[in-house]
Structure 1
Amino acid sequence: MKIVLFANTDWYLYNFRRSLALALRDAGHQLLLLSPPGPYGEKLQALGLRWEPLPMERRSLNPLREIGLLRHLVRVLRRERPALVHGFTIKCAVYGSLAARMAGVPARVNAVAGMGYVFTSSDLKARLLRPVVRSLLRLALDGEGARLILQNSDDIALFEKAGLIDPSRIRLIRGSGVDCSRFTQRSGARADGPLRVLLAARLLWDKGLDEYVKAARQLLAEGRPIHFLLAGEPDPGNPAAVPEATVQAWVNEGVVTWLGHVDDMVGLLSSVDVVVLPSYREGLPKTLIEAAACGLPLITADVPGCREVVTDGVDGLLVPVRDGDALAGAIRRLQDDPALARRLGEAARVKAHAEFDERIVVRRTVDAYRELCGPVAVPVLKVDGVRVGGVVSSSPSGRGLG
């Protein structure tokens, strides 16, 4: 079977869907990966995956450019004649589905991780775009040959309330998964020294960077021995991007240490004590799951997506959104109670292995393919000794995948 995977960056395909692509390829399926050009395209090709760049600009609102992109996609799909197109993020879901309909592709699967800038921002531009995007989503996502994958229960409720798609075509798959065999609990306690707190995310205001800096200032002013780390790069393609000059000002102030882009997240997570993500809304944050798999205590905002990973007081701490004081209080609590931090970290590790291992996500994604395309072969995979792969049955269940 030929499958097209379409995302708005090559970075996303490499970091979030590499395991799915490799599993499908190893099962004998033909794959084409599409995204705008970027340095990760070559990395995908080096893995033996077929990747092709598209003339796509994430922030473009130019009608001529957007029509040109849609026509380009239609030409590619007519040339390739895939059985299924799988789009990631809202823009790719819309364009990929519309192009698939025009090209006569029988099956369309879309995975939307969070509602994106248009639905989460209160900016005038976002508010003006919202009804247009809603109409396009209704047109693109629904239909007998479509399935929509969402990552948390709040987004499912939102899509259903907005009437964007028949609820029977929505599937819940929590995240893109994490290789829990790589992200492992460190052996032994870290050497004595300042508490090391990490926020790892794209440098966007809606990831809670302002609240993180506010909490850092407060705790450092108390004289607490804490080292605040910030990993990630600015995202100039996003309207919520934090200017690099602002980040550098925080560094010059001595509030945070900015690590930039980090390839070795396993090594970074093994060097820290607490991971925080005071985001305003998420699909399902991969950084939190990676940290959980490493047995680290988590602090995150009580918002959709984040609370799918963390249950307050059980496997992490939840704080009110946009509340730097509460974030500071949670960090203070973990520093003052190491036993609590260890207990939360251990519970987070157990949950990550049970619910978020990437092999589970691959199997459930293929289940969605199977509903539309019949039998779909995948490698035999195991999670904690339990078979979760193989050739799956062709009889559709029509039920949500939990």
Structure 2
Amino acid sequence: MKVIFYANTDWYLYNFRLSTAQRLQADGHEVVMLSPPGPFGGRFAARGFRWITLPMDRASLNPLREAVTFRHLVRVLRREQPDLLHNFTVKCAVYGGAAARLAGVPATVNAVAGLGYVFTSNGLKARCLRPLVQTLMRATLDHRRSLLVLQNPDDADIFRRARLVARDRIHVIRSSGVDTSRFRPSSMSGSEGRLRVLLAARLLWEKGIGEYVEAARLLRKQGRDIEFVLAGAPDPGNPRSVDEAQVERWAAEGVITWLGHVEDMPALLSTIDVMTLPSYYREGVPKSLIEGAAAGLALITTDQPGCREVVTRHGIDGLVVPPRNAAALAQLVARLDDDRTLLRRLGERAREKAIAEFDERMVIQRTIDVYERLLGTDMPGGSLAGTAS
């Protein structure tokens, strides 16, 4: 069987879907990666995957440019003749869903991990685009030969209430999974030394970047010796990206340590005590939170869709902070700085939850189960055995 993975960046396919592709490859299937050009695409060949580039600008609203992208996508699908097309993100799901019908692709899975800028922003551009995007989603995603995969029940409720996709075509698979054997607790975490706090995400304002920096300032004024680390790069394709010059000013001020994009996250997390994501973005299930959980870090996040899937009980498996509240975030960080027993206990509970609910082997198997339902046949490879400890 041939499967095409289609996303709006090669970065997403490499960092979020490579493990699924490798499982399919190990089971004897061909997986082809499809995305716009980018710095990560060249790595696919080393992993044994073909990579096809598409002339696509994920932020474009130019009708002529979008028509060229769509026509090119249809041509690729007609030439490759995949048995299944797996689309990721809203734009790729809409374009891929429509192109798959024209190209005669037998089965389509549309994965939407969070509803993103169009659905979360109250800006004029987002509010104008929202009705159009909903209309396109209803026209392209609700098809008898396609299934929709979402990452949290809140997003599923939105799709059902808006009647964007029939109820029986919606599946919830929480997160893209984490390798719990690669992300493991470190003996350094929860130590009595200087507390190190991390926010790892695309640098979008809605991820709580501003509140994170302000919390760092507040604690610095109180004389606390806590290091606030920021990992991630600006996202020029998103209108709400933090400007790189602004991040450099924060770093020059000494309020944060900015690492930019980090390749080896397990190594970084082995030096961190607290993972925080004070997000008010419409998340799927944030990768940084489940990686932090698997690494046995104490988590601080908001009671927002996606985030609440990881931290469900305040004080038990993490701490919950109100969105857009830097003072409250600073208070919670200070609490963990003062109470290292709580810090360690939260990390232990987070690790237990990551193993039980977010291990990538279970997530991949659930994805393959969706493929089998859509194709009406069992795929080679069988169920995944065991879980990490």
Q: TM-score range by the shorter chain?
A: over 0.9
Deviations 1:167-201 (CA, angstroms, capped at 9, x unpaired): 11100101111111000111355665321111011
CA distance in 2, matches of 1:385, 1:208: 32
Find the residue that maps to 1:74 and give its secondary structure: helix
CA distance in 2, matches of 1:253, 1:37: 35
Partner in structure 1 of residue 4 of structure 2: 4
Partner in structure 1 of residue 319 of structure 2: 317
Partner in structure 2 of residue 399 of structure 1: none
Partner in structure 2 of residue 102 of structure 1: 102
Q: What amino acid does structure 2 have at the position aligned with 1:303?
A: Q
Unaligned stretches of 5+ in structure 2? Answer: none
Do 2:110 and 2:141's aligned partners in 1 also have CA atoms closer than 8 Å?
Answer: yes
Give the CA deviation at 1:49. 0.8
Q: What amino acid does structure 2 have at the position aligned with 1:35?
A: S
Partner in structure 2 of residue 394 of structure 1: none
Give the CA deviation at 1:326. 1.1
Deviations 1:255-299 (CA, angstroms, capped at 9, x unpaired): 101111110100100001111001113100011101100110000
CA distance in 2, matches of 1:190, 1:112: 35
Among 330, 336, 339, which residue is 1:337 paired with?
339
Give the CA deviation at 1:346. 0.3
Q: What amino acid does structure 1 have at the position aligned with 2:381?
A: V
Unaligned stretches of 5+ in structure 1? Answer: 387-402
Partner in structure 1 of residue 292 of structure 2: 291
Give the CA deviation at 1:44. 1.2
Partner in structure 2 of residue 224 of structure 1: 224
CA distance in 2, matches of 1:39, 1:70: 23
Give the CA deviation at 1:50. 1.1
Do 1:357 and 1:383's aligned partners in 2 also have CA atoms closer than 8 Å?
Answer: no
Paired residues for 1:3-402 under 5 Å: 3-187=3-187, 192-281=192-281, 282-311=283-312, 312-373=314-375, 374-378=377-381, 381-384=384-387
CA distance in 1, matches of 2:310, 2:190: 25
Give the CA deviation at 1:161. 1.3
CA distance in 2, matches of 1:16, 1:91: 17
Q: What amino acid does structure 2 have at the position aligned with 1:65?
A: R
> TM-score scaled by structure 2?
0.97
Q: What amino acid does structure 2 have at the position aligned with 1:356?
A: F
What percent of counterpart residues are identical? 60
Q: What amino acid does structure 1 have at the position aligned with 2:26?
A: D
Deviations 1:127-176 (CA, angstroms, capped at 9, x unpaired): 10001000000011111111100001111111111111101110010111
Find the residue that maps to 1:41 and give its secondary structure: coil
> TM-score scaled by structure 1?
0.94
Do 1:360 and 1:383's aligned partners in 2 also have CA atoms closer than 8 Å?
Answer: no
Find the residue that maps to 2:218 and give its secondary structure: helix
CA distance in 1, matches of 2:381, 2:331: 46
Give the CA deviation at 1:379. 5.8
Q: What amino acid does structure 2 have at the position aligned with 1:367?
A: D
Give the CA deviation at 1:385. 7.8
Do 1:178 and 1:358's aligned partners in 2 also have CA atoms closer than 8 Å?
Answer: yes
| Count of aligned pairs between the two proteins | 386
